[in-house]
Amino acid sequence: MLIRPRLRALTVALSVALVWAMQAAEPLYHEALRPQFHFTPQRNWHNDPNGLVFFRGEYHLFFQHNPTGIDWGNMTWGHAVGRDLVHWQQLPNALEPDRLGAMFSGSAVVDWHNTAGFQSGREPALVAIYTAAGDTSPASKGQPFTQCLAYSNDRGRSWTKFAGNPVLPHIIGGNRDPKVVRHAPTRRWIMALFKDGHTYALFASPDLKSWTHLQDLEFPDCGECPDFFEMPVDGHRQYTRWVFTAANGHYFVGSFHGTTFTPDGPPQVADWGKNYYAVQTYSDIPKSDGRRIQIAWMNGGKYPGMPFNQQMSFPCELKLRSLPEGLRLCREPVKEIAKLHAREHAWKNVRLRPGENPLAGFGGELLDIRAELEPGAASEVGFRLRGEPVSYSVAGRKLSSLGSDAPLAPVNGRIQLQILLDRASLEVFGNDGRVSLTSCFLPKLENRSLEVYATGGAAKIVSLRVFELRSIWP
């Protein structure tokens, strides 16, 4: 009696496996679930962005990588470079595991003044500061977690580990993820380091080799991957504050004069989505540019049958703004997204009644959507993209996407949205980046439908621009 149901189940399972096998056999970078404008390595596992640094016209994107397997392990620094924050070329791996441990997360800087003495030619050296994760391999058995240096004199194409490693011995537990920034007034390097539990620390060094402890900092409900940087307030370079972020993007705003970081208040939330982690910002962006650019690992995404596993977020520009509730970080996609804009569809001043959909007949899987909506009499307005809702609750003043919510008050009765849709992710930004929701999803491959909607009453589309996007891959 059970034979036929079991045969049907087996047939379904085999059919699904066959579909995924066919998709995995598609050309590299064009597989069914391969993100088309978010960075992914050619193959295998990757997680945290590491060593984000700009030098001689190139953005370097290092990343935690398992070059030999689809799952986490064998942590190595993968490496990619790009000239526009959009298109990336993967290079050979930069740092391989050694007797001190696997290559865990860290940062990179340009040593413009040759403070470490690594420079061998006319150009300054790039220096990577990373965690050697001891006892994570047979070669490092019995070793603790320590902080180490590597340097490059050929624009990051090859790396030499410092013979004097580690430069910061083990302190406690799994101390890791050094983020280093230059503090010009004191002519010192400052390192933010995760220690253990919810404790972080700051250290200072004149040469990247010898480090002095400055302070510890408790960061509730946070761990790993610190970042520490100075930012202008409302774009005014003469008025700055310092920002300290944790892996989940939660952050303090405060003051720092070379020895002690003093938060102005409790930590804040930078992103409300499900898949936003291990955030890091770029070092050495030229003053002529002046942006603070951040990338996150979109952790927890699912990519069954694919030759890669996980993806990065699209790069975002951070701004520190004075809002009624205080100083807050705002995040928006970098302007270079426009390099991918192809066909545009636009609407202005359209009355949107329940049941109507100006996007009916359109479809897509790679989109940059920019909208200003006036909810009016509606109880809810939003989009359904490939069946996934991005909604705004008028009564709740709440923006929702893929199961996550963010508080968002209207401005002059309107809300402003930017939405990036890729093959396996939705990144939603509200009111010029006041809130963001970074999340992954597993799409129904046949569903490319698009909808803008209102429920409970009529709303107004003040403006709506839908850009079809080109792939970044050849």
pLDDT digits (tens, 9 = 90+) for 396-412: 999 999 999 999 999 99
Per-residue pLDDT tens for 217-263? Answer: 999 999 999 999 999 999 998 999 999 999 999 999 999 999 999 99
**Is the CB of residue 417 less than 8 Å from the CB of residue 380?**
no
Q: Percent of the chain beyond pLDDT 70?
A: 95
Q: What is the dihedral of CA 51, 53, 56, 57, to 10 degrees?
A: 110
Indicate the residue type of 368: D
Distance CA 231, CA 282 (A): 13
Average pLDDT over residues 9-31: 59
Average pLDDT over residues 329-333: 98
Q: Percent of the chain beyond pLDDT 90?
A: 93
**Is the CB of residue 357 less than 8 Å from the CB of residue 451?**
yes
pLDDT, residue 25, reads: 60
Strands across the sheet containing 145-152: 102-111, 125-133, 145-152, 160-161
pLDDT, residue 271, reads: 98
Band of residue 378 on the pLDDT scale cut at 50, 70, 90: very high
Chain centroid to CA 401: how far?
A: 17
pLDDT, residue 89, reads: 98
Average pLDDT over residues 161-179: 98
Tokens of 53: 């640094």
Q: Is 234 a catalytic site residue?
A: no
> Is 70 exceeded by the pLDDT of residue 272?
yes
pLDDT, residue 269, reads: 97
Residue among 48, 111, 271, 368 flagged as catalytic: 48
Distance CA 352, CA 332 (A): 26
Average pLDDT over residues 126-132: 98
Per-residue pLDDT tens for 431-456? Answer: 999 999 999 999 999 999 999 999 99
Distance CA 89, CA 79 (A): 9
Per-residue pLDDT tens for 172-184? Answer: 999 999 999 999 9
Write down the residue that tokens 């401005």 correspond to: 411
Question: For residue 69, how many other CB atoms are within 10 A of its CB?
Answer: 12
- Average pLDDT, rounded, for the chain: 95
Average pLDDT over residues 261-283: 98
**Is the CB of residue 390 less than 8 Å from the CB of residue 373?**
no
Q: Which of 122, 133, 225 is nearest to 174 (CA)?
A: 133
Q: Which of 274, 254, 273, 272 is nearest to 263 (CA)?
A: 254
pLDDT, residue 11, reads: 47
pLDDT, residue 15, reads: 42
Band of residue 12 on the pLDDT scale cut at 50, 70, 90: very low
Phi, psi for 198 (deg, rounded to 5): -115, 25
Average pLDDT over residues 86-111: 98
Per-residue pLDDT tens for 195-212? Answer: 999 999 999 999 999 999
Band of residue 26 on the pLDDT scale cut at 50, 70, 90: confident
HEC-encoded secondary structure of the chain: CCHHHHHHHHHHHHHHHHHHHHHHCCCCCCCCCCCCCCCCCCCEEEEEEEEEEEECCEEEEEEEEECCCCCCCCCEEEEEEECCCCCCEEEEEEECCECCEEEEEEEEEEECCCCCCCCCCCCCEEEEEEEEECCCCHHHCCCCEEEEEEEECCCCCCCEECCCCCCECCCCCCCEEEEEEEEHHHCEEEEEEEEECCEEEEEEECCCCCCEEEEEEECCCCCCCCEEEEEEECCEEEEEEEEEECCCCCEEEEEECCCCEEECCCCECCCCCCCCEEEEECECCCCCCCCEEEEEECCCCCCCCCCEECCECCCEEEEEEEECCEEEEEEEECHHHHHHEEEEEEEEEEEECCCCCCCCCCECCCEEEEEEEECCCCCEEEEEECCEEEEEECCCCEEEECCEEEECCCECCEEEEEEEEECCEEEEEECCCCEEEEEECCCCCCCCEEEEEEECCCEEEEEEEEEEECCCCC
Distance CA 129, CA 134 (A): 16
Q: Which domains does the chain have, with CATH numbers?
A: 30-333 (2.115.10.20), 341-469 (2.60.120.560)
Average pLDDT over residues 138-156: 97
Q: Which of 460, 468, 470, 427 is nearest to 347 (CA)?
A: 460
Tokens of 396: 């709740």
pLDDT, residue 193, reads: 98
**Is the CB of residue 50 less than 8 Å from the CB of residue 130?**
yes
Write down the residue that tokens 């030229």 correspond to: 286
**Is the CB of residue 353 less than 8 Å from the CB of residue 458?**
yes
pTM: 0.93
Q: Exposed (0-12), middle (13-18) or buried (19+): which is 38, by Cβ within 10 Å?
A: buried
pLDDT, residue 1, reads: 40
Average pLDDT over residues 153-162: 98
> Is 80 exceeded by the pLDDT of residue 214?
yes
Residue 233's beta-bridge partner residues?
A: 236, 320
> Is 70 exceeded by the pLDDT of residue 276?
yes
